[in-house]
Amino acid sequence: MAVRAVRGAVQLERDEAGHMDEQVGALLTAVLERNGLTPDDLISIWFTATPDLHSDFPAAAARKLGIVDVPLICAQELDVQGAMPRVVRVLVHIESDRPRGEIAHVYLGAAAALRKDIAQ
């Protein structure tokens, strides 16, 4: 079994805790589903949020999905002028037999513009 990394992002419409839970939950669910994963396949998850998001920790959404025994950490994304606002990004470390080229990275909604080079 190999260690792989899955990237993903979602742009929030507004900075509200409930909305963040919903959108980050949808992102994590899509990462799991598109890669045929269960929470047992997860090693750790890094979350970043743009500096304009203050309502909650993105990792809280993972806990609400039942991802309770996986190390999670949150950090602030670089404050780059002109960057897309209200974005939560994830870097999910997994155990998988999938070749690196078959990992499905997930960019939901407007966040798809962040990585046009990765097929959705």
Q: Which pLDDT does position 25 carry in this prediction?
A: 98
State CA 65 to chain mean position distance. Answer: 13
With a pLDDT cut of 90, the percent of the chain lying above it is 90
pLDDT digits (tens, 9 = 90+) for 47-84: 999 999 999 999 999 999 999 999 999 999 999 999 99
| H/E stretch holding 79 | none
pLDDT single digits (tens) 3-39: 999 999 999 999 999 999 999 999 999 999 999 999 9
Look at residue 118 in the predicted model and tell me its pLDDT. Answer: 64
Q: Which helix (H) or strand (E) holds 18?
A: helix 17-34
pLDDT of residue 51: 97
For the record, the structure tokens of 19 come out as: 């909305």
CATH fold for domain 2-115: 60s Ribosomal Protein L30; Chain: A; (3.30.1330)
> According to the model, what pLDDT value does residue 120 have?
53
Can you give the residue ranges of every domain in the chain? Answer: 2-115
Residue, of 68 and 116, whose pLDDT is higher: 68
Task: Output the pLDDT for position 113.
Answer: 87
Structure tokens, 112: 């798809």
